[in-house]
Structure 1
Amino acid sequence: MTSLSLTRLLHEEAAARGLRDPAAPLPDPPEVFALVRDMPYARASTHDPAGIVREWRGTCSTKHELLAALLAERGVSSTLIACTQEITPPPGAPPELLALTGGQPVVDIHNYLTVHAPEGDMVVDATWPLAAAQAGLPVNPEWRWGEDQRLACMPLETWPVPAGESVADFKARLLRERYMPEELERRDAFINAVGRLFLAGR
C-alpha cells in the first residue's frame, strides 16, 4: 500500500460502521490506537493488515500487527513483543469461559508493542476493547505519548519477535516448544469462546 493508504482504509471502514465522520481528517496515532483497540476481540482469518481492517476483528497478535503497520505509515516505528502468560478468568466471567478453564489457568503467548516514540519507548497494548472493562479485563482508555500502557497479562518470559519472521510462525513455535497438546487444545477452545462472546456483544 502507498503512504497512509492503510490509515485511509481504516478511516473508511470505521466511517462505514458509524464510528467516524466520513468527512473527518485521517485519524492520528492516538485515534488509530483507539479504533484498533475497540475492534472486537476475535480471531481474524488473516494476518494481512488490510484484511484485518476489513474483517474488523483481531486478537492480540493481529491487532498489534495492524497497529504496527498503521503507526509505520506515520513514521512511528515499533517492535512487536511476545510473552508467555497464564490466563485466569476474573470473577464474574461468563460461565462458559469458567467451564473451559477446568479450574486451571489457560496458557498462551501474548503480543503487544514497544513503540519507539519521539518522547521515548512506550509499551502499548490494544488487546481489549473498552467494553471489556465491564468484565474486569485490563483496558487502556487512552494513548499518552511516551507513557507505558497497562499490559493485558502478567508476562512470564518475553522476547521481541525476530525481524523477518512472521508473528504467527514465531508464536506457533513458542507454543509448541513450551506447552503440551492438551494445554494448546484448551487454549484454542478458550480463545474461540472469548471471540464468540465479543462478536455477540456480550
Structure 2
Amino acid sequence: MTPDLPLTRLLHEEAAARGLRDPGAPLPEIPEVFALVRDLPYARADTHDPAGIVRGWRGTCSTKHELLAALLAERGMESTVVACTQEITPPPAAPPELVALSGGRPVVDVHNYLIVHAPQGDMVVDATWPLEAARASLPVNPEWVWGEDQTIACTPLESWPVPAGESVADFKDRLLRERYAPEELERRDAFIRTVGSLFLRERA
C-alpha cells in the first residue's frame, strides 16, 4: 500500500505548477525531494510551517532544513537539525551589493543543516544554496548520494544539535542574541535580506 505523503504531494503539486515537474509524474523520491528543497529561492519564508514554506516557495537555511526534515519524517526517516556559528565573507564573484554590505568584515550568523540518520549511516545534508548559486561561487550540493556527507554551506565555528521538540527558530535566535552584539545582528539581517532580494529578482 502506498503511504500517505501529504507534504511530498504538496511539494510535487507546487513544483508542477511552476513547470519543474510533470503533473502526472509519480511523487518524487528522496534524492529529488532534496533537490527541490535545495532549489527553492534563497529568501526568508513567511512561516516555519512546512506546508507554508512549500506554498511560499522560498526559504533560508533554517526553513529549508525544517522542511526537509519534515519531508524525510514523512518517509519514516529521522534527522537532527544542527545549528552552528559562522562568519560570512562574500566570495570575489559575489554581487557587488553583498561585498559592499560586508564592508570588508565578516558577517556573523548561525547556520542550520541536517544530520540525516539514513540506513547507510548518518550523513551531513545541506540544502541551503540553490544550484544556480554556484555561479556566485557559493557551495552548492549538486546531488544526494546515500551514505555520503554533503558540503556544509559554511565553516562551522561552534555546533549544537537543536534539542528535540524545540523550535529551530527560537534556538537560533537565542544563540544569535547570546553571542553577537546588536549592530552585528543588524548587518546580518541586512545581508540576508539583500541575498534574498537578489535571488527573487533573478526568478522574476
Q: Name the TM tier (shorter chain).
A: over 0.9
TM-score, L = length of structure 2? 0.97
Mapped partners of 1:27, 1:74: distance in 2: 11
Q: Which residue of 2 aligns with 1:8?
A: 9
The equivalent residue for 2:109 is 108
**Offset of 1:3 from its aligned partner?**
3.3
Q: Deviation at 1:92?
A: 2.0
Aligned AA (2:78): S
Shift, 1:34, TM fit: 0.1
CA positional deviation for 1:102: 1.0
Amino-acid identity (%): 83
Residue of structure 2 in register with 1:59 after alignment: 60
State the Cα RMSD in Å.
1.0
Correspondence list, 1:8-47, <5 A: 8-47=9-48
Counterparts of residues 1-202 of structure 1 (less than 5 Å): 3-201=4-202
CA apart distance, 1:49? 0.3
Runs of 4+ deviating beyond 3 Å: none
Distance 2:116 2:181 in 1: 33
TM-fit CA distance, 1:94: 0.9
Uncovered stretches (5+) of structure 1, i.e. residues with no partner: none
Matched residue type, 1:179: Y
User: Counterpart of 1:107 in structure 2: which amino acid?
Assistant: V
**How many pairs align?**
201
SS in 2 for 1:142: coil
Give the whole-Å Cα distance in 2 for the aligned partners of 1:181 and 1:138. 28
